[in-house]
Amino acid sequence: MFIGHFAVGFAAKRYAPRTSLAVLLAAPLLSDLLWPPFLLLGWETVRIDPARTKVSPLNFTSFPWSHSLLMCAVWAALFAAIYYWITRYWPGTLAIALGVLSHWLLDWITHGKDMPLYPGGAKFGLGLWNSVAGTLGVELAMFATGVWLYVLTTKARDRIGRYGFVAYVVLLVASYLRDTFSSQLPHSVKAEIAWPGLIAGVVMLIWAWWFDRHRDLKPTLT
């Protein structure tokens, strides 16, 4: 899953309006943020295999540290504890814990049988990625709902708050559609998957932090 994880972060703003959108996005994206550096370090592996599923050309041969249910629970507890220690803000803490855990659930729905319960444990996956229409339908509906909840919660204070946000949403949907329909296969895991993934993750979080700071909470929420 790709933009479905962003949907969870956008939606969480409704529940935890005082938490920066960047933090609310980092939680459901955490497994995918850890994955590129873990690939570069050689702790996890992936193989390029276009026959694996219709949507994704990747066979996730091993990613227990970023993507097992047990490790997701560990990351969730760690991230939530650090956030609570700094802010003492319960809604944000809960949104982070549930957000990190949601990654496993959503990837379990989309992936083939890749998703381990714990490092070395049995792997599961419902394989929504075998259907292009099903994947697009589910993820776009989730994304629209998440963005809509964010718009209900915040309003732009200035141009950055308005156009920075709109450009972010447009870019996400465009790159999601491009990736889904692209027939081009990556050749190098490090150069074409891990490094771009790492850089894109950092850029998307900083960008979200930036436009979110230029949006105010709707009066009913302040």
Contacts with Zn ion by CB under 5 A lie at 31-32, 107
User: DSSP class of residue 18?
Assistant: T
One-letter amino acid at 13 equals K
CB-wise, 104 or 168, nearer to Zn ion?
Answer: 104
Selection from 70, 72, 68, 62 nearest residue 27 by Cα: 72
Q: How far is the CB of 134 from Zn ion (least distance, A)?
A: 18
Separation of alpha carbons 115 and 8, rounded Å: 19
CB-wise, 158 or 179, nearer to Zn ion?
Answer: 179
Residues 6+ apart with CB under 8 A from 144: none
Q: How far is the CB of 29 from Zn ion (least distance, A)?
A: 8
Q: How far is the CB of 31 from Zn ion (least distance, A)?
A: 5
CB-wise, 32 or 44, nearer to Zn ion?
Answer: 32
Separation of alpha carbons 139 and 63, rounded Å: 23
Selection from 128, 149, 114, 110 nearest residue 7 by Cα: 149
Separation of alpha carbons 212 and 222, rounded Å: 15
CB-wise, 31 or 153, nearer to Zn ion?
Answer: 31
Q: How far is the CB of 110 from Zn ion (least distance, A)?
A: 9
Q: How far is the CB of 15 from Zn ion (least distance, A)?
A: 22
Q: How far is the CB of 104 from Zn ion (least distance, A)?
A: 8
Q: Is 64 in contact with 44 (CB distance < 8 Å)? A: yes
CB-wise, 12 or 109, nearer to Zn ion?
Answer: 109
Residue 143, classed as helix, strand or coil, is helix
First to last CA, the chain: 33
